[in-house]
Amino acid sequence: MSDAKSRRTARFNLIALATVALLPFVGSWLLYWLWEPDAHVNYGELIAPLPLAQTQAPTELRKLHGKWVFLTVDSGACGEVCQRKLYVMRQVRLTQGPSMERIERAWLIDDGAVPVADLLAEHAGMHVVQARGNELLSKLPVAGALRDHIYLIDPLGNVMLRYPRDADASRIKKDLTRLLKASRIG
């Protein structure tokens, strides 16, 4: 009788041990497939990566391979919203201190207009590219209008994040700081 009881106890202990060992795996699997988080750590909207190599991106953009790039598309006349986006891109880059050399800024002009010299001087170092009719303009992921966004391109040349036109510079800074810290490239 005690032999049967010891077998039941041993069997129960084995089942309990296996259950405890499998719980983390089953729990993580269930969370992965059944639970969607309410909030994300990043401020920018993650988009399906768009490799610039697969588009007819302007040569000036391809030369920036290996750097993080803030990209905006707007008119060369650059109204108030455009100037705000350029300002945010410049300021966020400057807040990165020694890491700011890892970041470039690009402005794709989609209408052929030429920006005024004062604006270009204010944003010295920014790559201004005449891109009217370029294939990249039609392939950028848009929510609203093409001119409503600031995009972030990773060092491998993938457009990966999209920010709204009235983006909060301090929240973009947090995203970029986190990316630069985690990135071993660019």
Looking at residue 56, its pLDDT comes to: 87
pLDDT of residue 167: 94
103-109 and 68-74: which strand pairing? parallel
Q: Crossing angle, helix 169-182 and helix 80-94, to 10 degrees?
A: 40
> For residue 46, what are its two tokens?
């993650």
User: What are the extents of the domains in the chain?
Assistant: 1-36, 45-182
Q: What sign does the CA torsion over 53, 46, 152, 164 have?
A: positive
Distance CA 165, CA 182 (A): 26
Question: Residue 1 has what pLDDT?
Answer: 57
DSSP β-bridge partners for residue 68: 103
Predicted confidence at residue 38, as pLDDT, reads 66
> What pairing do the DSSP bridges indicate for beta strands 103-109 and 149-153?
unpaired
137 touches 110 (CB < 8 A): yes
Q: Give the integer Cα–Cα distance in Å for 128 and 47.
A: 24
Please give the helix or strand (H or E) that residue 175 lies within, else none.
Answer: helix 169-182
**Domain range 45-182, CATH architecture:** 3-Layer(aba) Sandwich (3.40)
pLDDT tens for the 186 residues of the chain, in order: 578 888 999 999 999 999 999 999 998 988 888 887 766 688 999 999 999 888 888 889 989 999 999 999 999 999 999 999 999 999 999 999 999 999 999 999 999 899 999 999 999 999 999 999 999 999 999 988 999 999 999 999 999 999 998 999 999 999 999 999 999 887
DSSP 96-115: TGGGGGGEEEEEEESS-PPP
